[in-house]
Amino acid sequence: MADVAIPRAKPQMSEDNAWTQLKHNRNWLGFWFMVPAMAFLIFFLAYPLGLGIWLSFTDTRIGRVGHFVATENYEWLWDDSIFWLSVFNTLLYTFIASALKFAIGLYLALLLNENMPFKAMLRAMVLIPFIVPTVLSALAFWWIFDSQFSIISWSLKHLGVINQNINFLGDTTWARICVIFANIWRGVPFVAITLLAGLQTVSPSLYEAATLDGATRWQNFRFITYPLLTPIIAVVMTFSVLFTFTDFQLIWAMTRGGPVNATHLMATLSYQRAIIAGQLGEGAAISSAMIPFLLAAIMVSWFGLQRRKWQQGENND
């Protein structure tokens, strides 16, 4: 737009030397404006990303420069049952947590969109789990899920549901349920508030018109709310899947991958192998193995979004 509006200043012939011309050249200016951001992103993002893939083909350890070993790390991982367990855990964790986050988040957004007293305060309170640092709330969950002094076990015992304490973080199934629950708890506010922002762009007159035509509440949702929300759902879920898949801090604070590796995700396993055990090469191979999964997740939601746009005939933006 600016191109049309601000025609490039015509050089005033003889008076202009090369320097003034350069000063008004938008490409030259643009380059200098981009330098700080690009410097950070190249030195601390693009370069490490490439370096990580390179490291995964070497046998680098902490304190020792590595040699190129081709795909040895990957072959090693291929036969490593703990690695495959972590892949399974990551997929399970991502799939269940994202699906439930979406369902509960959308439901909460629809509830918050209704008219009621103390609406502003409710909405602000809902977002608090998202504000508080994940590790600190994970510690609270660690205490809530304590094997001996868990408040949940205590309450259930007093209600007469169970006789013995539940060993929340010591039993493999329970540990998985607990970390997934904590992840959902952390992610629902983000999904709900962003979807709520999307809901508020839907004009009320659509619902009024549909209701006059005899639409039920479900039909209102299915044929008005859902289609109009699709673009924002695609973006929110891309982020949600991405951050769930690469989650590290929640697991590290609550279980550190235990019991018997039942909650090890790929990120925590790569930390354990690379930093604690010192095998940088192997750790890098595990984290590089996440990249194809991430690309697939991004592609799916991206093409979902494009298809939706195409269905709605939205090719003019």
Nearer to other proteins, 180 or 267 (CB): 267
DSSP per residue, 36-69: HHHHHHIIIIIHHHHHHHHHTTB--BTTB---B-
Q: One-letter amino acid identity for 50?
A: G
Binding flag, residue 230, other proteins (CB under 8 A): no
Q: What does the block give as tokens for 167?
A: 């060993």
β-sheet bridge partners, residue 76: none
What is the C-alpha to C-alpha distance for residues 200 and 206, in angstroms, rounded to an integer?
12
User: What phi and psi, each to the nearest 5 degrees, are found at residue 58?
Assistant: -125, 170
Give the binding-site size for other proteins (rule: CB under 8 A): 118
Binding flag, residue 166, other proteins (CB under 8 A): no
User: What phi and psi, each to the nearest 5 degrees, are found at residue 213?
Assistant: -80, 5
Within residues 236-255, the interface with other proteins by CB under 8 A covers 236, 238-239, 242-243, 245-249, 252-253
Write down the least CB distance from residue 14 to other proteins, Å.
20
**Piece of the chain touching other proteins by CB under 8 A; list 12-20, 74-82, 168-176, 201-209:** 201-209
**Piece of the chain touching other proteins by CB under 8 A; list 78-86, 91-99, 170-178, 277-285:** 277-285
Nearer to other proteins, 196 or 262 (CB): 196
Nearer to other proteins, 95 or 129 (CB): 129
What is the C-alpha to C-alpha distance for residues 301 and 239, in angstroms, rounded to an integer?
10
Q: Which helix (H) or strand (E) holds 109?
A: helix 81-112
Write down the least CB distance from residue 248 to other proteins, Å.
5
Write down the least CB distance from residue 214 to other proteins, Å.
13
What is the C-alpha to C-alpha distance for residues 213 and 219, in angstroms, rounded to an integer?
11
For residue 189, give every residue at least 6 positions away whose Cβ sits within 8 Å of its Cβ, in sequence order, or none: 105, 126, 127, 128, 129, 130
Binding flag, residue 258, other proteins (CB under 8 A): no
Residue pair 197/123 in contact by the 8 Å Cβ criterion:
no
User: What phi and psi, each to the nearest 5 degrees, are found at residue 190?
Assistant: -60, -50
Q: Could you say which of 91, 177, 206, 215 contacts other proteins (CB under 8 A)?
A: 206
Within residues 13-72, the interface with other proteins by CB under 8 A covers 23, 26-27, 29-31, 33-38, 40-41, 43-49, 51-52, 55, 60
Write down the least CB distance from residue 226 to other proteins, Å.
13
What is the C-alpha to C-alpha distance for residues 68 and 275, in angstroms, rounded to an integer?
20
Within residues 80-139, the interface with other proteins by CB under 8 A covers 104, 107-108, 111-116, 119-120, 122-129, 131-137, 139
What is the C-alpha to C-alpha distance for residues 180 and 93, in angstroms, rounded to an integer?
6
Nearer to other proteins, 80 or 157 (CB): 157
Binding flag, residue 145, other proteins (CB under 8 A): no
Residue pair 175/259 in contact by the 8 Å Cβ criterion:
yes
Q: Could you say which of 176, 271, 272, 305 contacts other proteins (CB under 8 A)?
A: 271
